[in-house]
Amino acid sequence: MSQNAFDQKKQHILSEIQSDSLDLSPKGTIDELCWPIMNLINSHADMVTTSSCSGRLSVFVEGQKLHNEVLKSGGKGEGGKWLFVSHNQNEVRNWIQRLSEPIHWVSEPDNSQLDPTSRLILYKFEPFILHVKCRSFHIASQLFNTAMSCGFRESGIGSNNIVAVRINIKLDVPIGYLDQETRELRFFVSPAYIKLIDEMTLAKYNENARKMQELLKKIDSQVITISEQGSVDKQPAESKEERRQRKRREGLLRQQQAS
C-alpha cells in the first residue's frame, strides 16, 4: 500500500534527522536538549518535528536594507553578522572573551552615530521553540492545548496543521553600535551591566530548561499516552540503544535544569 502525503513527508524528515549532514541553522546540528522532546513526538504516528532550538544567547550586529527607497537598519539585512552564538549556558559568562573582534567601551554613545540607519549591537536570549507537523487538526489541537497548559502562550497552529510551540521568556537588549566610519564595535554599556544581563540570561536558561521538562512530561501523559489508550498508531518501540541515548539526553536536560 502506498504511503499518503503525511507519511511520505514524515519519512523524509526523519531520514534527514538521522543523517550526519549539517542542517541550515547557524549551529548546523540539532541541539542536544531538544532530542528528548523530538524523540517523544516523533514516536507518534501522527506528528513529526520540522525544526527546533533549545534556546540560545546571541550577540548580533544589525544589517541595513532599503525599505521604500529609505535605508534602514534591522535584522540580518546587508552586512548583518553574528558576533557570538551559543546554546550552552556554560559559555554565557565568558562570551566577550570569545569574540574575534576588539570591543571599544564608551561612556556614552556618539549621538551622530545613532539614527534610524544605525547598526545596533543586540544582546539576545531566545528561548526554546519547536515546530511540529501534524496529520490532522485534531492532533494539532491536542499538542497546542498541551503546550498552552504548560505556559507556552506564544504557541499557535499554522497552515498544514503545523504547531509552533513558543514561550515568551526572551531578552533583547541593545548594548552598542557599529561605528560607521571606523567600523569599530562600540559598547555604550559598562562591563558591570554586561555581567548583570549575563546573570539574567542564566536565570532564563534555567527557566527555559524547567519549562521544556514540564512540556516533555505533559506531551507524554496528555498526547502520547492518551493516543495509546485510544488505539492510535504509535511508532515501534525504541531499541535498547535508542533508549540509552534518550535517557542520556534526558539526563542532560535535568542537569541543566538543576544547575
pLDDT tens-digit map of 87-116: 999 999 999 999 988 999 987 766 766 776
- CATH architecture group of domain 27-258: 2-Layer Sandwich (3.30)
3-state secondary structure of 89: helix
pLDDT in tens, 165-219: 999 999 999 999 988 888 899 999 999 999 999 999 999 999 999 999 999 999 9
pLDDT band at 231 (very low <50, low <70, confident <90, very high): very low
Please give the Cα distance from 137 to 176 (Å, whole number): 45
Max Cα distance, the chain (Å): 70
The per-residue pLDDT for 243 is 65
The per-residue pLDDT for 181 is 83
The per-residue pLDDT for 257 is 57
The pairing of strands 156-157 and 162-166 is antiparallel
Mean pLDDT of 24-28: 60
Is a pLDDT exceeding 90 seen at residue 236?
no
What is the 3-state secondary structure of 188-256?
CCCHHHHHHHHHHHHHHHHHHHHHHHHHHHHHHHHHHHHHHHCCCCECCCCCHHHHHHHHHHHHHHHHH
Residue among 217, 240, 36, 14 nearest 133 (CA): 14
What's the mean per-residue pLDDT of the chain? 84
In the chain, where the domains are located: 27-258
Q: What is the identity of the amino acid at 52?
A: S
Evaluate if pTM is beyond 0.85. no
Alpha helices in the chain (DSSP H): 5-18, 35-42, 137-149, 191-219, 225-229, 240-258
The per-residue pLDDT for 235 is 47
Please give the Cα distance from 180 to 177 (Å, whole number): 9
Grid coordinates 534591522 are at which residue? 74
The per-residue pLDDT for 193 is 96
